[in-house]
């Protein structure tokens, strides 16, 4: 133990960062390797979960964009169908209605025929 303390003291006096390492070694000893190992496992697990979450978010984003595209296409198709239907109905109404000039000419003609009799 005395030799270890002397070696630690020599290292401590030379480098400030080694002072921290020496203190950690004195306090924690062999446990520090176990702690580091556990921290590494936790870091890897967090990193793995982060990647999974990012992949899930990306997949969800793709699915939402696809759903929006499908909905947009469906709405455009329905709008086009409604416009076509409205145009057809307007054409039918145009065919059924009598032009004002034609109606006026018919009424004048009818009036003249009634007047002649």
Tell me the per-residue pLDDT of 63-98, one tens digit each, with 9 for 90 and over: 999 999 999 999 999 999 999 999 998 888 877 777
Residue 33: count of CB within 10 angstroms of its CB: 10
Half-sphere exposure of 69 (CA within 13 A, CB side): 6
State the chain's mean pLDDT as an integer: 83
pTM for this predicted structure: 0.48
Residue 82 tokens read as: 């409604």
Q: How many angstroms from the chain centroid is the CA of residue 18?
A: 49
Half-sphere exposure of 48 (CA within 13 A, CB side): 6
Place of tokens 């390797």: 33
């Amino acid at each position: 133990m005395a030799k270890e303390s002397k070696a630690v003291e020599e290292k401590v006096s030379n480098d400030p960062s080694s002072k921290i390492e020496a203190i950690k070694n004195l306090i924690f000893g062999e446990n520090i390797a176990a702690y580091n190992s556990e921290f590494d496992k936790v870091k890897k697990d967090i990193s793995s979960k982060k990647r999974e979450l990012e992949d899930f978010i990306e997949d969800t984003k793709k699915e939402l964009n696809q759903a929006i595209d499908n909905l947009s296409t469906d709405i455009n198709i329905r709008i086009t169908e409604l416009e076509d239907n409205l145009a057809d109905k307007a054409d039918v109404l145009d065919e059924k209605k009598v032009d004002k000039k034609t109606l006026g000419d018919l009424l004048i003609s009818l009036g003249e025929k009634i007047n002649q009799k």
